[in-house]
Amino acid sequence: MVVIPEELKNLECCLKCRKVDVEFIIDTVKIPSESGGVEKPIKRCKECSDHVYSYNGTLSMASKSMLFIVSLFLSIGITVVGYLEGIKFNHLLIADVVIFFLFALVYINNSYYHRKLKIFLKDYAKANN
């Protein structure tokens, strides 16, 4: 079994180019909101303009379990507040399902890239040993 070396875990990787420690540019994306918006930096590969990832930057197992806990508390809070406001219970259940569905999509997406990056870095470490 190949273990990913610690020095590879913090390097930026492009999964499209299949390169480790790539040069990247930082784009900013403005996320509009009522308070004027927030600018979020996004790292993009200079060669192919695809997203650049680092192993430690992808969602860790502790953060994945936090997604479930946050969605659970959010659902409970919405249900209690909605019930106290007189919203029909069927509508509250639909809201809970939508919340769990959205958090599940985020979890699946982050798990996919984390797993893909892990396989890529293991292959890279194996080839360079």
- Torsional sign, CA 3, 7, 9, 15: negative
Instruction: Assess if residue 92 is contained within a domain.
Output: yes
Instruction: Assess if residue 115 is contained within a domain.
Output: yes
pLDDT, one tens digit per residue, over 23-34 is 999 988 888 877
Q: Is the pLDDT of residue 36 over 80?
A: no
Instruction: Assess if residue 77 is contained within a domain.
Output: yes
Instruction: Assess if residue 27 is contained within a domain.
Output: yes
- Report how far apart the first and last C-alpha atoms of the chain are (Å, whole number): 13
Q: Which distant-in-sequence residues (6+ apart) come within 8 Å of 36 by Cβ?
A: none
Domain with 66, as residue range(s), is 6-127
Instruction: Assess if residue 56 is contained within a domain.
Output: yes
Total domain count for the chain? 1
- Run of H or E residues at 31: strand 24-31
Instruction: Assess if residue 55 is contained within a domain.
Output: yes
pLDDT confidence of residue 23:
92
Instruction: Assess if residue 15 is contained within a domain.
Output: yes
pLDDT, one tens digit per residue, over 66-124 is 778 888 898 899 999 999 999 998 999 999 999 889 888 888 888 888 889 999 999 98
pLDDT confidence of residue 1:
63
pTM tops 0.85: no
pLDDT, one tens digit per residue, over 49-73 is 899 988 887 766 557 677 788 888 9
Instruction: Assess if residue 1 is contained within a domain.
Output: no
